[in-house]
Structure 1
Amino acid sequence: MRHDSRPAAVVAPVPSSRRSPSTRRTIMTTHDGAGTTALPPDVRGPHTSRLGLVTVIATFGGLLFGYDTGVINGALEPLTRDLGLTAFTEGFVVSILIFGAAVGAVIGGTLSDRHGRRHNILLLAIVFMIGTLGCVLAPGWEVLAIFRFILGLAVGGASATVPVYLAEIAPAERRGGLVTRNEVMIVSGQFAAFVINAVIYNIWGDIDWIWRVMLLVALAPAIVLFIGMLRMPESPRWLVAQGREAEALAVLRQVRSPQRAEAEMSEVHRLAAEEQASRTGGATDLGVRWIRRLILIGAGLGVFQQATGINSIMYYGTQLLGDAGFSANAAIVANTLNGLFSVLGITVGILIINKINRRTMLLGGFALTTTFHLLVGLSALLLPDGTAKAYFILVFVILFVFCMQGTIGPLVWLILSEIFPLKIRSLAIGISVFVLWVANALVALVFPPMVQTVGIANSFFVFVVLGLAALVFVAKVVPETRGRSLEKLEEQFRTQYA
Structure 2
Amino acid sequence: MSEAIGGKGATELALPPLRPGKQQRRLDVIAIVATFGGFLFGYDTGVINGALTPMQKDLGFGSVGEGFVTATLLVGAAIGAIVGGRLIDGWGRKKTIQLNAFIFLVGTFGCVFAPNLDVLLVARFILGLAVGAASQAVPIYLSEMAPQERRGSLGGRNELAIVIGQMLAFIINAIIGATFHGDNVWRYMLVVCAIPAFALFFGMLRMPESPRWLMSKGREDDALAVMMEVRTEDRARAEMAEVRRLAEEEAESKTGGWSDLGTPWIRRLVIVGACLGIAQQFSGVNALMYYGTQLLKDAGFSDSAAPIANIANGVTAVIGGALCLFWAVDKFSRKGLILFGVIATTISQGLITLAAFTIPDGNTFKAWLILFLCDMMLFFIQLTLNVPVWVCLSEMFPLRIRGFATGLCIFVLWSADCILVFSFPIVVGAWGIKMMFLILFVIGLAIIWFVRNFLPNTSGRSLEVLEEHFAAGDFLINDRATPAVGHGH
- Normalising by structure 1, report the TM-score: 0.79
SS at match of 2:473: helix
In the alignment, the residues of structure 1 paired with residue 261 and residue 205 of structure 2 have an alpha-carbon distance, to the nearest angstrom, of 42
Secondary structure at 1:335's aligned position in 2?
helix
CA contact (8 A) 1:278 1:422 kept: no
Alignment of 1:225-304 (within 5 A): 225-252=200-227, 254-256=229-231, 265-266=240-241, 269-270=244-245, 272-273=247-248, 280=255, 295-304=270-279
Q: Structure 2 CA distance, aligned partners of 1:104 and 1:60?
A: 18
Amino acid at match of 1:490: G
Structure 2 residue aligned with 1:310, among 285, 288, 292?
285
Change (3 A) 1:381 1:249: closer
Which deviates more, 124-133 or 396-405?
Answer: 396-405
User: For 1:184, which of 139, 150, 160 is the aligned residue?
Assistant: 160
Equivalent residue, structure 2, for 1:89: 65
* Partner residue in 1 for 2:433: 456
Between 1:444-453 and 1:341-350, the stretch displaced more is 341-350
Q: Distance in 2 between matches of 1:364 and 1:257?
A: 36
Deviating more after overlay: 287-296 vs 450-459: 287-296
Q: Superposed, which structure 2 residues align to 1:185-224 within 5 Å?
A: 185-204=161-180, 206-224=181-199
Match of 1:37 in 2: 15
Native 8 Å contact 2:41 2:165 kept in 1 = yes
Aligned-pair distance for 1:101? 1.2
Instruction: Give unpaired runs (5+ residues) of structure 2.
Output: 477-489
3-state DSSP class of the match of 1:304? helix
Change (3 A) 1:84 1:177: same
Percent identical among aligned pairs is 48
Q: Which amino acid aligns with 2:49?
A: N
Is 1:141 aligned with 2:124? no
After superposing the two structures, state which structure 1 stretch, 458-467 or 232-241, moved more.
Answer: 232-241
Once the two structures are TM-superposed, the CA of residue 106 in structure 1 deviates from its matched residue by 2.0
- Give 1:394 deviation, angstroms: 0.5
Question: What aligned pairs does 1:73-88 form with structure 2 within 5 A after superposition?
Answer: 73-88=49-64
Look up the match of 1:327.
302
Measure, in 2, the Cα distance between the counterparts of 1:342 and 1:88. Answer: 28
* 2:311 equivalent in structure 1: 336
- Higher mean alpha-carbon deviation, 451-460 vs 299-308, is at 299-308
> Quick one: distance in 1 between partners of 2:336 and 2:158?
28
Deviation track 1:294-343 (CA, whole Å, cap 9, x = no partner) reads 65444333323322322110111111112212122321121122122222
| Offset, 1:140 | 1.1
* In structure 2, C-alpha distance between the alignment counterparts of 1:356 and 1:252, rounded to whole Å: 27
- 1:81 deviation in Å? 1.5
Kindly tell me: are residues 262 and 461 of structure 1, through their superposed partners in 2, closer, same or farther at Cα, counting changes over 3 Å? closer
Partner of 1:377: 353
For 1:112, the equivalent position in structure 2 comes to 88
Query: Unaligned regions of 5+ residues in structure 1, if any?
Result: 7-31, 494-498
Cα distance, 1:386 vs structure 2 = 3.5
Change (3 A) 1:86 1:275: farther
Per-residue deviation, residues 249-281 of structure 1 (Å, max 9, x unmatched): 544555555676667653553465577689727
User: Structure 1's 207 and 293: CA in aligned 2 closer, same or farther, altered over 3 A?
Assistant: same
Aligned length: 463
Stretch moving more, 159-168 or 247-256:
247-256
Instruction: State the match for 1:53 in structure 2.
Output: 29
- Alpha-carbon distance change, 227 to 137 in structure 1, aligned in 2, over 3 angstroms: same
Closer, same or farther in 2 for the Cα pair 1:244/1:478, shift >3 Å? closer
What do residues 370-408 of structure 1 show as CA deviations (whole Å, max 9, x unaligned)?
A: 332233233333323042221111111111112223334
Equivalent positions of 1:387-406 (< 5 A) are: 387-406=364-383
Q: What is the alpha-carbon distance in structure 1 between the residues aligned to residue 86 and residue 54 of structure 2? A: 38
1:141-180 matched pairs, under 5 angstroms? 141-170=117-146, 173-180=149-156
What residue is the counterpart of 1:26 in the other structure? none
Change in Cα spacing, 1:138 to 1:329, as seen in structure 2 (3 Å) is same
| 1:64 has 2:40 as partner | yes
Alpha carbons of structure 1 residues 36 and 179: separation in structure 2 relative to 1, 3 Å: farther
Opposite residue 115 of structure 2, the aligned amino acid is: P
TM normalised by structure 2 equals: 0.81
Report the RMSD for the aligned CA atoms in angstroms: 3.8
- 1:100 maps to which residue? 76
Letter in 2 for 1:101: A
SS at match of 1:328: coil
Q: Tell me how far 1:35 sits from its aligned partner.
A: 4.5
1-side partners of 2:25 and 2:391: how far apart? 30
